[in-house]
Amino acid sequence: MRIFAPTVLLSLALATGCVLPEDQVPDGMPADLWVPPSAANLPVAELDLAPLSRLGEEPDVDGLVEGPQEIAVTIGEEMDVELHVLQPSLAIQPGSLPEAASFLTLDDGARVLWVPGAGDIGHHEFVFLIVDVDEPSLVLAQRSILVDVLPGFSLIEYGF
């Protein structure tokens, strides 16, 4: 957990008897992390700890994109996956895909087509970027799909 320098200074100020006005947020402290002195004596159950839970975390993609999280395909089988954004202000861009995969933009998301070969057997992570439609360079979140490429059944039957 990060400790902000203003938090330490504020703690020292309160310990020595200095009190900040209710509506004054210390310089350098994010406003959503500020707890006014009047709330300092509230029971823990009444405090809003949600801002603290966001520190150091990546944005939550739940509620932004709809689609599978894991897929299994066999070599030579076409993988056809669609992801749909749940908000019209969002779009999907490719982050990390195999070179042979095709990425198609849809009105409400994206579609990926891929036919894995024998050299692709194993685990792959397809990464997609959730971006703002008006500012595509602004990445809001990231979504991954884990793809397991399995050998064809005939290879398994003969012990390969």
Residue 57 — pLDDT band, cuts 50, 70, 90? very low
Helices within the chain (DSSP H only): 5-15, 50-53, 153-157
Q: Please determine, for residue 89, whether its predicted confidence score (pLDDT) is greater than 70.
A: yes
| End-to-end CA separation in angstroms for the chain | 49
Domain boundaries, the chain: 5-53, 65-157
CB-based burial, 50-75: b 16+ in 10 Å, e otherwise:
eeeeeeeeeeeeeebbebeeebebbb
pLDDT value at residue 30: 66
pLDDT value at residue 44: 45
Q: Please determine, for residue 148, whether its predicted confidence score (pLDDT) is greater than 90.
A: yes
pLDDT value at residue 150: 93
Report phi then psi at 119, rounded to 5.
Answer: -75, -5
pLDDT value at residue 152: 77
What fold is seen in the domain 65-157? Immunoglobulin-like (2.60.40)
pLDDT value at residue 35: 62
55 or 74: which leads in pLDDT:
74
**What's the pLDDT tens digit per position in 112-128?**
999 999 999 999 999 99
Q: Please determine, for residue 1, whether its predicted confidence score (pLDDT) is greater than 50.
A: no
25 or 96: which leads in pLDDT:
96
73 neighbors 151 (Cβ within 8 angstroms): no
pLDDT value at residue 63: 79
pLDDT value at residue 84: 93
**What's the pLDDT tens digit per position in 17-39?**
555 555 666 666 666 665 665 55
Query: Whole-structure pTM over 0.75, yes or no?
Result: no
